[in-house]
Amino acid sequence: MTANVAARMEEVCSSPPRLEPLDGAALGARELDLIGRLRQLSAYPDDKPVHPFFSTLAHQPAFFEAYMQLGISAMASAALPLRTRELIILRTGWLCGAPYQFGEHVVTAKKIGFTAQDIERIKQGSSAEGWDDADRAILRAAEELHGNAMISDATWTALAERLSPGELIELPMIVGHYHLTAFLQNSLRFRLSDYNLGLAST
């Protein structure tokens, strides 16, 4: 992300959301089933209301289903380890200047052992000191996909030494899914939760 953090936060988060979430009663059985599956995977309490991001996306039920199915697969069926996925998601969220996505996944990453120093290095990217070769290759792949829509030969070779064919397929799909998520959340001007510090998170 090249823009000033405060300016980007102002741009994305300071105005009201562009679409209002649907009332829970307006959600169909298909949407509620997918949301229920995601609740189970993420341990989101059943007594809490439907997350407003999902009830906003439900304005387009057919696309909502496709989006949710990929997200569920990334959580439930991914071969890439959770730590690797969080590296990918955080770097992608930072590059996209996506306050909601980045802040939410800082919270997730800290639950699995990421430190504030790790988060700051993710902001700096693959060129930061302290990464091992495996993490550096993962971060560089996310950067190359963001900047050039493909993984370079050198980075692919480094990844292929460590990842299975299935994991090599997953990596750009996860990057793409979280680009889509950033596009949606930024364009909808999705508001931050009380605990979410957006791009200022460490």
Mean pLDDT across the chain: 92
Taking the model in full, what pTM does it have? 0.93
pLDDT confidence band for 2 (50 / 70 / 90): low
Across the range 172-198, mean pLDDT stands at 95
**Axis crossing angle, helix 5-13 with helix 99-111, rounded to the nearest 10:** 110
In angstroms, the CA 137 to CA 133 distance is 6
- Tokens at 70, concatenated: 């990929």
CATH number, domain with residue 186: 1.20.1290.10
Angle at 165 between CA 163 and CA 169, to 5 degrees: 95
Q: Looking at the structure, do residues 58 and 148 belong to the same domain, yes or no?
A: no
Q: Which residue has the higher pLDDT, 137 or 65?
A: 137
Report the pLDDT value the prediction gives residue 46, as an integer from 0 to 100.
74
Q: Average the pLDDT over each of 32-41, 50-59, 106-115, 169-178 and give the range with the smallest value.
A: 32-41
Q: Looking at the structure, do residues 131 and 48 belong to the same domain, yes or no?
A: no
Domain tally for the chain?
2
Which of 42, 60, 76 is where one domain is finished? 76
Q: Looking at the structure, do residues 64 and 99 belong to the same domain, yes or no?
A: no
Q: Looking at the structure, do residues 53 and 94 belong to the same domain, yes or no?
A: no
Q: Looking at the structure, do residues 39 and 98 belong to the same domain, yes or no?
A: no
Report the pLDDT value the prediction gives residue 16, as an integer from 0 to 100.
94
Q: Which of 104, 108, 178, 99 is nearest to 146 (CA)?
A: 178
> Is the pLDDT confidence value at 3 over 70?
no
Q: Is 105 exposed, middle or buried (0-12, 13-18, 19+ CB in 10 A)?
A: buried
Q: Looking at the structure, do residues 119 and 192 belong to the same domain, yes or no?
A: yes
Residues spanned by the domain of 25? 20-76
- Tokens at 95, concatenated: 């590059």
8 within domain boundaries: no
